[in-house]
Amino acid sequence: MQPPQPSPGRGRPRTITRERIADVSIAIGLPCLTFVGVAAALGVSHMALYKHVANIDALKCLVAEEIFQRWQIPRASDGAEEGLQAYLLRFAASVQAFVKAHPGLTPYVIRRLAATEAMIGKIHEHQVHIAEVYGLSLEQARWLLSTVAFHGFAVADTIYTVAKREPVLDADCVQEEQEMEVELSEGMRALIVGVLVLLEQQGGDVGHQV
Q: What is the DSSP string of 118-156?
A: HHHHHHHHHHHHHHHHHT--HHHHHHHHHHHHHHHHHHH
Tell me how far apart the alpha carbons of residues 26 and 100 are, in angstroms, rounded to a whole number: 13
Q: What type of residue is 82?
A: E
Please give the full DSSP string across 147-200, using - where no structure is assigned.
HHHHHHHHHHHHHHHHTT-TT-TTS-HHHHHHHHHHHHHHHHHHHHHHHHHHHH
* Helix H or strand E segment including 28: helix 18-28
Q: Residue 114: what pLDDT?
A: 76
- Asked whether 129 and 76 are in contact (CB, 8 A), the reply is yes
Residue 182 pLDDT > 80: yes
Q: What is the mean pLDDT of residues 161-183?
A: 70
Full set of structural domains in the chain with CATH: 18-68 (1.10.10), 74-209 (1.10.357.10)
Mean pLDDT of 76-84: 79
Three-class DSSP category at 104: coil
pLDDT level of residue 28 (50, 70, 90 thresholds): very high
156/208 Cα distance (integer angstroms): 30
pLDDT tens digits, residue range 86-139? 999 999 999 999 999 999 999 888 887 778 899 999 999 999 999 999 999 999
- pLDDT value at position 27? 93
188 pLDDT higher than 70: yes
Confidence band of 6 (pLDDT split at 50, 70, 90): very low
Separation of alpha carbons 200 and 204, rounded Å: 5
Output the average pLDDT for the chain: 84
Q: Please choose, from the candidates 206, 185, 68, the residue with its C-alpha nearest in 3D space to the C-alpha of residue 126.
A: 68
pTM for the full predicted model: 0.81
